[in-house]
Amino acid sequence: MQISIKCSIAVHCLIFIHEAKGKARVTSALLAQSTGCNPVVIRTVISALKKAGLISVARGTGGAELCRDPADITLYQIYRALKPDGLSCLIGIHPCQERPCPVAQNIRTVLRAPYQKIEDSVRQAMEGITLASLLEEYHRCLAEQQAAGDNETHPQT
């Protein structure tokens, strides 16, 4: 079970866009450099985020901006922007209904309800995580790194 890495790329881009506001024009080239991804992948992610109404992108090299407050953007919305089918592709069922076996003929029905419960749980968890909370965690990580860097240059006695 795996959520596409495009979701983490999208979160990376959204955090970068938020942090660069008023400091730098955020282009796909800049995001490609930050993420280490091919610019084509970045443009695909940016296009999906724009289509979902999460960001706006000025024509040419105008840059990208968030369209909503980070508290109003959930991880599930980000995921859905990239995977419109939602979480239904997280857990698959192998195609075997045509086989002359009672297990094969019924496995889809047997797994439908449990898989739906899993999908619903993952969706609810993702809906409870906002870009704002991810930004808070990002800032906490930065503060820890800066404190560790300060301790290395100024050891405590």
CATH classification code of 5-153? 1.10.10.10
Q: Which H helix or E strand runs over 64? A: strand 63-66
DSSP-assigned beta bridge partners for residue 63: 58
DSSP for 80-117, written as a single string: HHH-TTGGGGTS---S-TTSS-HHHHHHHHHHHHHHHH
Region 52-67 average pLDDT: 88
Q: How much is the pTM?
A: 0.84
CB 90 within 8 A of CB 42: no
Q: Look up tokens 């282009």; give the residue.
A: 27
Q: Up-side HSE of residue 123: CA atoms within 13 Å toward CB?
A: 14
> What pLDDT sits at residue 157?
33
Which residues 6+ apart lie within 8 Å of 46 measured at CB? 13, 28, 31, 55, 57, 64
> What pLDDT sits at residue 88?
72
pLDDT tens per residue, range 38-48: 999 999 999 99
For residues 82 and 12, what is the distance between their CA atoms, to the nearest angstrom? Answer: 14
Q: Is residue 8 scored above 90 in pLDDT?
A: yes
Q: Is residue 156 scored above 80 in pLDDT?
A: no
Question: For the packed helices 39-51 and 5-20, what is the interaxial angle rounded to 10 degrees?
Answer: 80
Q: Is residue 151 scored above 60 in pLDDT?
A: no
4-8, 67-71, 150-154: range with lowest mean pLDDT: 150-154
Domain assignments of the chain as residue spans, ordered by start: 5-153
CB 18 within 8 A of CB 135: yes
